[in-house]
Amino acid sequence: MKPISRGEFIRLSGLTLAGALVSDVIFANDMLLNHNEGKEDIQLMKKLILNNDAKVKSILNGKPIDPTIRISNFRAIASGVTVMTASISNPKSEYYKSGLVAEKLHQAIGILLKEQYADGTLDAGGNRQSPPDTAFVLEYICPAAVLLNRDKQKNLAEVRDKIKRFILNAGEAMITGGVHTPNHRWVICAALASINSLYPDERYIKRIDEWLAEGIYINEDGHYAERSGVYSAVIDKALITMARLLNRPQLLEIVNKNLITYFYYTEPNGDLVTVDSKRQDQFMSLKVTKFYLQYRYMAIRTRNPIFAYMVNTIENLPEFTNDMLSDSLAFFMENEELQQPLSVNGKIDNDFEKFFAISNLARIRRGKTSLTLFGGNDQPVQIVSGRSSNPNFLMYRKGNSILKYMRLSTSFFRMGYFSSNGIIKEGNKYILKETKEADYYQPLAHEFRKADGDYKLSESQDGRFWNKMDFDSRIKSNVKKQITTIEITENNGALSLDFTVEGPPNVEVTIEMCFNEESTIQGDVKEDKNNYFLKSGLGEIVLAGDVIQFGPGKCEHLNVENLDSEEYTYHQGTLRTSGKHVYITGFTPFHHKMNLF
């Protein structure tokens, strides 16, 4: 198979590397050559085998699947197949050539074949006969097939045959099937590349090239279209698979750019910044362990010290054993390059200030202090997958003490939280600003009136509600505007915040701070209904010897209900999370300066 040239790939993908985040990483022509062939990280492999065997033991001791209950998600079964295959195929495993494991593999593959539709697909939750979800299953099954074909144990001949049938059936769905979201395209392409490496067919390559011809979007900030930690890890893994199996190293240039971005998005304890995601993880806590295989592969491939640093960081996280060691052995066996020890020192300067202008997100680290500023929600704000709508504009950490988020809300027509229309950076000052508008409406002009009053069901021009009012034909009047400006100045990790809310008078203003649950609150605070109001002076949050100070306080009202907007409260929804909630409150015209350090 002839690989595409770098120029042709860039033409197809619309990539420009001029804005790459790191200029000192050179992609040589031998990107896919093995630089350390024959070497092995012995201690890591021992841990992988030990933990994989423990996972196999739990599978063998687990309850059998109830045949009377229909399965709606097959990734756990597929993962189990991969884990068991790794142990039964590894001579150093206690389950090498195990009859019990062989029987369990027969059962698991039998279930997948039984539930596979005639078109090659599987169901996944609410997604019926889903090509992309079947591709996620193949992400596990194809490496298992590689190991079984390589080992060729006689008593596993039937298992190999069943897996081949499942993969080839699924391959037909990959050739013709559609997708829902941007990342699905590359997951399907990776599945096709894996199938082709096992059972070559030019139709697989043709379909891959159809998808690649659309172009792989990555912006100057190093983000894919979904700007999501969950799906960036997915895409990076898919592109690495294609680069390896199709001999297309150009794809690694994209992975490189995204992984550099997620270095800046990683907190010292492994938490990922997710506030700017356009998918469900914008309200989730994630660990960087999702990127482990990607960072390890690229650290070995590029010798970039940043990637080596990330590998070392992940391997030292308490979550590493459960998240990675317990089910990654098969991937290390299938792609033996992962077994190599890192050949570059991971020591780097980890103090930085990085502004991602397209995402309107700033990341700053000063020693133990780490902070995130965000003003890049999609406008208008809508609550739907694929749109950025998280109202957290500031997150701040000092060691163990964590401000999970700061938000601002007003009672202005119950329109909810402040959502900045971008960020302006002036030196070490970041300016966030939003204008909210609420309208009233005049009587319809004569030509639009109806005797029966049956007018078009339509959305109000300010987007707050729907009614049979034919709003588009009405003149707006009594228009009210509220302008909120937040200026944040950073100095060696300490923040000065200047809040101004202008518009109609006597509007309630609420600054909301949510600290981690175990924190102790100190200062001149009033507690009301499990909420804390800083009345004056400085407040302190203390945890495990680390202290965050904030203030001075202001407490002019205690109404912290309905902060979310009617879009949530109408459905009894809320964005409030667990934690210690501290409030500073006042009325418009509102001007308050405070410090956070």
**Between residues 384 and 540, the one the model is more confident about:** 540
Higher pLDDT, 44 or 465: 44
366: which strand partners?
369
pLDDT tens for each residue of 239-272: 999 999 999 999 999 999 999 999 999 999 999 9
**pLDDT score of 235:** 98
Residue spans of beta strands (DSSP E) within 289-428: 352-356, 361-366, 369-374, 394-398, 401-410, 423-426
- Per-residue confidence band for 379, with pLDDT thresholds at 50, 70 and 90: confident
Judge whether residue 6 has pLDDT over 60.
Answer: no
Q: What pLDDT does residue 35 have?
A: 52
pLDDT at 81: 98
User: Using CA atoms, how far apart are residues 220 and 15, in angstroms rounded to an integer?
Assistant: 10
- Local confidence band at 595 (pLDDT 50, 70, 90 cut-offs): very high
Neighbouring C-alpha atoms within 13 Å toward the C-beta of 595: 10
Q: What is the pLDDT of residues 482-504, one digit of tens each?
A: 999 999 999 999 999 999 999 99
Global pTM value: 0.91
pLDDT band at residue 37, thresholds of 50, 70 and 90? low
Residues 6+ apart with CB under 8 A from 33: none
pLDDT of res. 38? 57
pLDDT at residue 573 tops 60: yes
Span 46-87, pLDDT tens digits: 999 999 999 999 999 999 888 788 888 999 999 999 999 999
The pLDDT, as a whole number, for residue 17 is 33
Q: Residue 311: enclosing H or E segment and its boundaries? A: helix 305-315
Q: How far apart are CA 195 and CA 163, in angstroms?
A: 11
Lowest mean pLDDT among 126-130, 571-575, 586-590: 571-575
Kindly report the average pLDDT of the chain as a whole number: 92
Contacts 24+ apart (CB under 8 A), 43-49: 44/315, 44/339, 45/92, 45/332, 45/339, 47/321, 47/325, 48/325, 48/328, 48/329, 48/332, 49/87, 49/90, 49/92, 49/93, 49/329
Q: Where are the alpha helices (DSSP H) in 433-585?
A: 566-569
- pLDDT digit string, tens, across residues 172-203: 999 999 999 999 999 999 999 999 999 999 99
Model pLDDT, residue 2: 45
Per-residue model confidence (pLDDT) at position 329:
98
Does an H or E element contain 451, and which?
none
Tell me the backbone φ, ψ of residue 366, rounded to 5 degrees.
-130, 95
Check: CB of residue 286 under 8 Å from CB of residue 229: yes
Mean pLDDT value across residues 542-547: 95
Helix (H) or strand (E) holding 539: strand 531-543
pLDDT score at 9: 42
Q: How does pLDDT run across 7-16, given as a tens digit for each residue?
A: 444 444 443 3
**pLDDT of the residue at 554:** 98
Note the pLDDT of residue 69: 85
In SS3 terms, 195-253 reads as HHHHCCCHHHHHHHHHHHCCCCCCCCCCCCCCCCHHHHHHHHHHHHHHHHHHCCCCHHH
Locate 442 and state its tokens: 């005049």
Which pLDDT band, with edges at 50, 70 and 90, does 31 fall under? low
CB atoms within 10 A of CB 42: 10
Q: How many angstroms from the chain centroid is the CA of residue 196?
A: 29
Phi/psi-derived region of residue 438, left when phi > 0, alpha when psi is between -120 and 50, beta in every other case: beta
Contacts of 275 (CB under 8 A, 6+ apart): 282, 361, 372, 374, 390, 392, 395, 405
Instruction: Find all residues with CB under 8 Å of 536, minimum gap 6, and list them.
Output: 524, 551, 552, 553, 554, 555
Nearest in space to 263 (alpha carbons), one of 242, 234, 232 = 232
592 within 8 A of 499, measured Cβ to Cβ: yes
Buried b / exposed e over 456-468, threshold 16 CB at 10 Å, is eeeebebeeeeee
